Amino acid sequence: MNDQMMNQPKHWLHLLPTLQTDSHKYSRGYVFIEGGYPMTGAARLAAVAAARVGAGITVLAVPEIAFQIYASQLLSIIVKPYANAATLAQLVDDERINAYLIGPGAGISEHTRSSTLDLLRTGKPVVIDADALTAFAEQPQTLADAVKGPCVLTPHAGEFAKLTGHTIAATQTLKIAQAQAAARTFNATLLLKGAVSIIASADGRILLNNNAPPTLATAGAGDVLAGLITGLLAQGMPAFEATAAACWMHGSAATLFGPGLIAEDLSPMLPAVLRTLASQANH
Ligand SMILES: NC(=O)C1=CN([C@@H]2O[C@H](COP(=O)(O)OP(=O)(O)OC[C@H]3O[C@@H](n4cnc5c(N)ncnc54)[C@H](O)[C@@H]3O)[C@@H](O)[C@H]2O)[C@@H](O)CC1
Ligand SMILES: Nc1ncnc2c1ncn2[C@@H]1O[C@H](COP(=O)(O)OP(=O)(O)O)[C@@H](O)[C@H]1O
């Protein structure tokens, strides 16, 4: 594989968020994540990752029934319960929000579909992951038509096949072509996750991420990655570079942790990963 296509810090180091002496939590980036029920772990993993990668404020909007579950295990993440679609819409419609995430643990439902469309309507950056991708398996054009602003789709091979109707090809070259075509179709950055993940932009750029140990094949690792991408988007990184940087950080965190990794272990490794990247940026 062409070396130029391998994801490296040189592709995005200069775009990493930097702190100003007068930064405040809202200026650092406001992330909004929709959490589901009963799979409450996924959105919590994503929220902690978004905060760890530098978002100044991370809000999790959750169905009222699940509020206590979410809130009982989160401290810095703000959990906001919603009773119905109207109250959820009020939470979404906050001009301070810089980036949205939907999908981890969301459930495959009409609610997930319509919530995804509501987020896309804002025109702000949106990361669409997991169940929010599968929810459009029967109507991918509805999703494609709704994309207005920066958007990142993060399917694994199973979700990619359901969303596009195409089983993943056997060779890397064909997989890259599939990812590129899907990025164009949805007018979005498309991250096709796997042992070697493919990052494709709607304008044809491609990066391959192999900075990822197989210990990442563990439930919830993808939720953490979705949170990292959203956290970087909220801090102003462009979608393609935010996705590439997040993949790199995710893999580095797993490598640093070593054997015995579970998804909860990834975010606590981020400070060390960020410190290393900051020292590279200063040289
Ligand atoms: N603690 C939690 O609450 C967790 C919740 N999760 C949530 O669980 C829901 C379902 O996630 P799943 O990933 O199981 O999605 P799905 O159940 O939609 O897809 C999994 C199916 O796709 C197939 N598949 C094909 N290629 C695959 C690949 N490369 N990786 C994984 N599966 C592949 C598998 O055979 C499997 O049948 C999502 O909402 C997700 O966010 C999981 O992320 C795990 C942790
Ligand atoms: N064998 C592997 N080697 C390296 N990375 C892997 C491997 N298997 C999975 N990953 C990575 O782990 C993450 C798994 O995400 P995903 O499939 O969405 O799982 P989940 O939904 O359980 O979080 C992805 O970032 C993927 O690239």
Q: Is 19 in a helix, a strand, or coil?
A: coil
Amino acid at 155: P
Ligand 1 contact, 125 CB (< 6 A): no
How confident is the model over 206-232, as pLDDT tens digits? 999 999 999 999 999 999 999 999 999
pLDDT band at 87 (very low <50, low <70, confident <90, very high): very high
Ligand 1 contact, 34 CB (< 6 A): no
pLDDT at 107 over 80: yes
Residue 196 Cα to ligand 2 midpoint, Å, equals 9
How confident is the model over 156-176, as pLDDT tens digits? 999 999 999 999 999 999 999
Mean pLDDT of 3-27: 93
The predicted pLDDT at position 99 comes to 98
Instruction: Give me the sign of the Cα torsion angle 38, 42, 43, 48.
Output: positive
> How far apart, in whole angstroms, are the C-alpha atoms of residue 136 and residue 113?
7
> How far apart, in whole angstroms, are the C-alpha atoms of residue 61 and residue 32?
7
Amino acid at 256: L
pLDDT at 1 over 80: no
pLDDT band at 3 (very low <50, low <70, confident <90, very high): confident
Nearest ligand 1 atom to the CA of 223 is 43
Give the DSSP per-residue string, 184-199. HHHTSEEEEBSSSEEE
> How far apart, in whole angstroms, are the C-alpha atoms of residue 211 and residue 216?
11
Give the DSSP per-residue string, 74-119. -SSSEEEEESSHHHHHHHH--TT--EEEE-TT--SSHHHHHHHHHH
Nearest ligand to the CA of 197 is 2
Residue 101 tokens read as: 């995430």
The predicted pLDDT at position 2 comes to 75
Ligand 2 contact, 219 CB (< 6 A): yes
Residue 114 tokens read as: 């319509």
Ligand 2 contact, 217 CB (< 6 A): yes
Residue 278 tokens read as: 């900051």
Phi and psi angles of residue 61, each rounded to the nearest 5 degrees, phi first: -95, 125
Domain residue spans of the chain: 26-275
Listed residue (135, 243, 107) closest to 120, CA to CA? 135
Pairing between strand 197-200 and 189-192?
A: antiparallel
Residue 90 Cα to ligand 1 midpoint, Å, equals 30
205: left (phi over 0), alpha (psi -120 to 50) or beta: beta
The predicted pLDDT at position 142 comes to 98
Nearest ligand 2 atom to the CA of 129 is 18
Residue 213 Cα to ligand 2 midpoint, Å, equals 9
Q: Work out the mean pLDDT of the chain and round it to a whole number.
A: 97
In the chain, the percentage of residues whose pLDDT exceeds 90 is: 96
How confident is the model over 72-81, as pLDDT tens digits? 999 999 999 9
Ligand 1 contact, 156 CB (< 6 A): yes
How confident is the model over 236-271, as pLDDT tens digits? 999 999 999 999 999 999 999 999 999 999 999 999
Ligand 1 contact, 219 CB (< 6 A): yes
102 pairs with which residues across the strands?
128
Site to probe by mutation for ligand 1, drawn from 131, 136, 138, 193 as the one with most ligand atoms within 8 Å of Cβ, is 131
Do residues 127 and 189 lie in contact, with contact meaning Cβ atoms separated by under 8 Å? no
Evaluate whether ipTM surpasses 0.85: yes
> How far apart, in whole angstroms, are the C-alpha atoms of residue 250 and residue 107?
24
Residue 107 Cα to ligand 1 midpoint, Å, equals 11
Ligand 2 contact, 176 CB (< 6 A): no
The CATH code belonging to domain 26-275 is 3.40.1190.20
Q: How many helices and strands (H and E) does the chain possess?
A: 11, 9
Residue 133 Cα to ligand 1 midpoint, Å, equals 11
Ligand 2 contact, 223 CB (< 6 A): yes
How confident is the model over 17-52, as pLDDT tens digits? 999 999 999 999 999 999 999 999 999 999 999 999
Phi and psi angles of residue 84, each rounded to the nearest 5 degrees, phi first: -160, 180
